[in-house]
């Protein structure tokens, strides 16, 4: 073998070694990036769970306050025991819901919701359609109200503008008549 072939073989070996080193470095960087992304995802999940757990106590308190208000409002139904019984039952149900919200974690609620969706997909679909229909009706009626209000405001402004013009014209004609 000649000297030229040996130099070419060494250059190829050095090139392969550099390539292997580069692949190793890139693999290490990718591994570190994956590890950091896992850390960030875990951190974000933990923060979201903590936030939801703090907010669930506020929600539970709101539900309990509503149950108390509902129960206090039954005093006006003293002469109607059937209505009072229904309202008291609803208040008890709300108090149980508030306790349930306090006692369970967000993951428990999510898992239970997921189980209901899997057990009764038709019911969930029907409820979703109904909620969508109600949301669409609400948005449509709100848009119509806004459109009516803006049309009313526009016609009122035009009327005021016409009245001002007529008033100014009346003042001019009165000034001409007196001159």
d(CA 22, CA 25): 5
Q: What is the pTM of this model?
A: 0.42
Identify the band that residue 64 occupies on the pLDDT scale cut at 50, 70 and 90. Answer: very high
pLDDT for the residue numbered 21:
84
Identify the band that residue 171 occupies on the pLDDT scale cut at 50, 70 and 90. Answer: low
Q: Say if residue 34's pLDDT is above 80.
A: yes
pLDDT for the residue numbered 166:
62
Between the ranges 14-18, 110-114, 159-163, where is the mean pLDDT highest?
110-114
Q: Answer yes or no: are the C-beta atoms of 127 and 97 closer than 8 Å.
A: no
Q: What are 65-111's pLDDT values in tens digits? A: 999 988 888 777 778 888 888 888 989 999 998 998 888 887 787 78
Identify the band that residue 163 occupies on the pLDDT scale cut at 50, 70 and 90. Answer: low
Identify the band that residue 5 occupies on the pLDDT scale cut at 50, 70 and 90. Answer: low
Q: Say if residue 7's pLDDT is above 60.
A: no
Q: What are 110-159's pLDDT values in tens digits? A: 788 889 889 999 998 999 999 999 889 888 888 777 777 777 666 656 66
What interhelical angle do 3-72 and 106-119 show, nearest 10?
90
In order, the DSSP letters of 18-45 are: HHHHHHHHHHHHHHHHHHHHHHHHHHHH
pLDDT for the residue numbered 3:
47
pLDDT for the residue numbered 177:
52
């Amino acid at each position: 073998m000649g000297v030229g072939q040996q130099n070419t073989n060494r250059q190829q070996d050095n090139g392969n070694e550099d390539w292997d080193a580069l692949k190793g470095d890139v693999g290490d960087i990718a591994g570190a990036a994956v590890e950091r992304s896992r850390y960030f995802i875990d951190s974000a999940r933990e923060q979201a769970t903590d936030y939801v757990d703090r907010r669930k106590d506020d929600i539970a308190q709101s539900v309990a306050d509503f149950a108390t208000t509902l129960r206090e409002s039954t005093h006006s139904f003293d002469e109607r025991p059937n209505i009072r019984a229904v309202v008291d039952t609803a208040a008890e149900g709300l108090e149980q819901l508030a306790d349930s919200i306090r006692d369970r974690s967000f993951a428990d609620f999510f898992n239970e919701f997921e189980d209901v969706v899997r057990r009764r997909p038709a019911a969930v679909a029907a409820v979703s359609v109904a909620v969508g229909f109600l949301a669409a009706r609400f948005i449509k009626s709100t848009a119509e109200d806004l459109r009516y209000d803006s049309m009313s405001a526009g016609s009122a402004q035009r009327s005021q503008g016409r009245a001002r013009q007529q008033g100014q014209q009346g003042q001019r004609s009165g000034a001409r008549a007196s001159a």
